Amino acid sequence: MPEQPEVSIRNLSKSFDGIEVLRDVDLEVKSGEVVSILGSSGSGKSTLLRCINWLETPDRGEIRINGERIGLQDKTQKPMSRRELAKVRTQLGMVFQSFNLWPHLNVLRNVTEALIYVQGLKKSDAVERAMAFLHKVGMAEKAASYPATLSGGQKQRVAIARALAMQPKVMLFDEPTSALDPELVGEVLSVMKDLSSEGYTMIIVTHEMDFARNVSDQVVFLEKGIIIEKSAPEIFFHSPRSERVRRFLELDKVV
Amino acid sequence: MSNWEILWASRDVFWQGFGNTLTIFSISAVLSFLLGSLLLFSMEGVRPRLKIPLRIFIDAMRMLPFLILAYLFYYGLPSVGIRMTAWQAGVLALVLYHGAYFAEILRGSRITLSSGQEEAAIAQGFSRPTMFLRIILPQLVLRTRGVMGNQLIILLKDTAFLVIITVRELTAAANSLSSTYFIPMEAFIVVIGFYWMISLALEQGIRFLGRIGEKRGFNNA
């Protein structure tokens, strides 16, 4: 029996105001795999990622996390209740481009909040787990600081710890370094690289070509909502099948 | 006996009025804040049909002089069979009236809260009520602390209207002493002092919120 994919996306389509941003997207991500999604802006890559945890509601298609359907009831095809949705979402951790930390809570409480009020952990257990993950991203000594006092790179590392602390099966990264000053990109990428070597399953929307080349197991290229290339990084970056990807890579070199 | 000495001799009347004002104010402040929060939560809720009547309620309250509402509840409602004590009518009027204002203050700030924070909460599996209580409301309170403090002071001043529906609060105390001994000047100066005291204490509370806010980077409230 073939191994069940951790994330499976079938025939996913999505339009905004009649404009199709995703068309019949298929993608399978195996456990421990790192998948980078590339494409120019407006190609639908963020929408694809946001559909995976149902922050966007697709028009058609199905998404399964470890075989479990997200968004719609398997039998009736009716939308899930918020509670059911929240339960499936616990398998997914999400990291946003703009960090989205909660400014009224300090770093530690940003991480413990969902552990206590969603997962129902005792406070002492939540703090212990949060500190372990803050340590992992190198932010333990900032536990008492408020987000407003942190640099972008530090904020994003806290956001990663916050997502990791929920112990999801899959981590979703939506352009995690795009809002960062160039000198802060490295610290975030290095945390992500560590995660990939620890065997986390990761789906990453990114513009960081070197990172995609060195860390991914699979590179996906989206263009106008269609996957036009899906291959291993060696193939993708050296002998892409499509002319469009070749042009995209050349432009990247010129810049 | 000088006028001041007369007032000092009747200080129990003031203390009783002060106690009543403080009690009415505290109960109404807490309840109207809760009502305002509940209104906001319901208006952004999953039932769109609820939105319009709540909106109408809020606007209806805001377009009404508070005095009329107090009159209506105490003198008007008994004619349709609803009888309340002066306290009940007074507190209910204060809560409904100022609850509408609190809802409007919170809503104004709610609109400008970044949607990304909510998405992060949703992605972490927060339920709607928990997200509202833990993530959204605390920020709205920190952001609107100035306006909120203002509204509380207006609420405090509106408690003075309850004298006309026979609540024995501060203004009623001054009123009765001034007419018993005919010393309106001194009597009213004393209650002004009391109102100032409560307001200054309120300002201190808001300043404390301000320090919490500043530490978290909420400086532009």
B→A interface, C-beta within 8 Å: 114, 116-117, 119-128, 130, 134-135, 138-139, 142, 215-218
Q: Which of A83, A118, A148 lies closest to B124 in CB terms?
A: A118
* A108 and A70 both lie in a single domain: no
- Paired residues of A63 in beta bridges: A9
* A153 and A202 both lie in a single domain: no
Phi, psi (deg, nearest 5) at residue B41: -60, -40
* A86 and A184 both lie in a single domain: yes
In contact, B86 and B74? CB cutoff 8 Å: yes
Query: Is A2 within a domain?
Result: no
For A160, name the nearest residue in chain B, comparing CA atoms only.
B120
In contact, B105 and B151? CB cutoff 8 Å: yes
Listing from the earlier edge strand, what are the strands of the sheet with A170-174? Answer: A92-95, A170-174, A201-205, A34-38, A218-223, A226-231
* A143 and A209 both lie in a single domain: no
Which CATH number does the domain B3-215 belong to among 1.10.3720.10, 1.10.760.10, 3.30.930.10, 3.40.50.300? 1.10.3720.10
* A160 and A179 both lie in a single domain: no
List the alpha helices (DSSP H) in B75-114: 86-110
* A250 and A175 both lie in a single domain: yes
Tokens of A239: 């002998």
**Taking 70 as the threshold, does the pLDDT of residue A255 lie above it?**
no
* A246 and A173 both lie in a single domain: yes
Confidence of residue B118 (pLDDT cuts 50, 70, 90): very high
* Distance (Å) from the alpha carbon of B162 to chain A's nearest alpha carbon: 38
Using CA atoms, how far apart are residues A22 and B46, in angstroms rounded to an integer?
27
Using CA atoms, how far apart are residues A148 and A252, in angstroms rounded to an integer?
33
Task: Give the model's pLDDT for residue B61.
Answer: 95
Using CA atoms, how far apart are residues B103 and B121, in angstroms rounded to an integer?
22
Task: Give the model's pLDDT for residue B221.
Answer: 43
- Last residue within a domain, chosen from A167, A188, A211: A167
In contact, A71 and A54? CB cutoff 8 Å: yes
Task: Give the model's pLDDT for residue A254.
Answer: 64
Which distant-in-sequence residues (6+ apart) come within 8 Å of B118 by Cβ? Answer: B131, B135, B136
Buried b vs exposed e over A222-247: b needs ≥16 C-beta within 10 Å? bbebebbbbbebeebbeebeeebbee
Tell which residue, B78, B36, B80, has the closest CA to residue B58.
B36
* A248 and A128 both lie in a single domain: no
Helix B145-158 with B86-110: angle, nearest 10 deg: 160
**Taking 90 as the threshold, does the pLDDT of residue A7 lie above it?**
yes
In contact, A94 and A142? CB cutoff 8 Å: no
* Distance (Å) from the alpha carbon of A230 to chain B's nearest alpha carbon: 27
| Interval A88-102 mean pLDDT | 96
- Last residue within a domain, chosen from A167, A202, A223: A167
* A11 and A69 both lie in a single domain: yes
Domain limits of chain B? 3-215
Query: Is A1 within a domain?
Result: no
Which distant-in-sequence residues (6+ apart) come within 8 Å of A33 by Cβ? Answer: A6, A201, A202, A217, A218
**Taking 90 as the threshold, does the pLDDT of residue A195 lie above it?**
yes
- Residue A217 has what DSSP assignment? S
- Residue A21 has what DSSP assignment? E
Within an 8 Å CB–CB cutoff, is residue A100 touching chain B?
yes
| Interval B173-189 mean pLDDT | 91
Confidence of residue B14 (pLDDT cuts 50, 70, 90): very high
For testing the chain A interface, which of B46, B119, B124 should be mutated: the one with the most A CBs within 10 Å? B124
Domain that holds residue A191: 7-91+168-254
Percentage of chain A surpassing pLDDT 90?
Answer: 89
A83 to chain B: which residues are within 8 Å by CB? 127
What is the tens place of the pLDDT at every residue in B22-72? 999 999 999 999 999 999 999 987 777 889 999 999 999 999 999 999 999
* Distance (Å) from the alpha carbon of B54 to chain A's nearest alpha carbon: 24
- Paired residues of A130 in beta bridges: none
- Three-state secondary-structure class, residue B191: helix
Buried b vs exposed e over B50-78: b needs ≥16 C-beta within 10 Å? eeeebeeebeebeeeebeebbbebbeeee
Using CA atoms, how far apart are residues A229 and A242, in angstroms rounded to an integer?
7
User: Is B187 exposed, middle or buried, given 0-12, 13-18 or 19+ CB atoms closer than 10 A?
Assistant: buried
Write down the mean pLDDT value for chain A: 94
Phi, psi (deg, nearest 5) at residue B2: -75, 165
Using CA atoms, how far apart are residues B37 and B102, in angstroms rounded to an integer?
7
Task: Give the model's pLDDT for residue B125.
Answer: 93
Tally of structural domains, chain A: 2
Task: Give the model's pLDDT for residue A166.
Answer: 96
Within an 8 Å CB–CB cutoff, is residue A60 touching chain B?
no
Using CA atoms, how far apart are residues B178 and B202, in angstroms rounded to an integer?
28
- Residue A33 has what DSSP assignment? -
* A19 and A83 both lie in a single domain: yes
What is the tens place of the pLDDT at every residue in B80-90? 999 999 999 99
Secondary structure (DSSP) of A67-119: TEE-SB-TTT-PBPPHHHHHHHHTTEEEE-TT----TTS-HHHHHHHHHHHTS
For B138, name the nearest residue in chain A, comparing CA atoms only.
A104
CATH number at residue A87: 3.40.50.300
| Interval A225-238 mean pLDDT | 94
| Interval B122-131 mean pLDDT | 94
**Taking 90 as the threshold, does the pLDDT of residue A48 lie above it?**
yes
Q: Which of A87, A103, A166 lies closest to B124 in CB terms?
A: A166
Higher pLDDT, A132 or A40: A132
* A185 and A247 both lie in a single domain: yes
Using CA atoms, how far apart are residues A69 and A92, in angstroms rounded to an integer?
13
* A87 and A181 both lie in a single domain: yes
Confidence of residue A2 (pLDDT cuts 50, 70, 90): low
Tokens of A95: 């990291």
**Taking 60 as the threshold, does the pLDDT of residue B220 lie above it?**
no
What is the tens place of the pLDDT at every residue in A133-165? 999 999 999 999 999 999 999 999 999 999 999
Is A86 in contact with B127 (Cβ distance < 8 A)? yes
B122 to chain A: which residues are within 8 Å by CB? 55, 86, 89
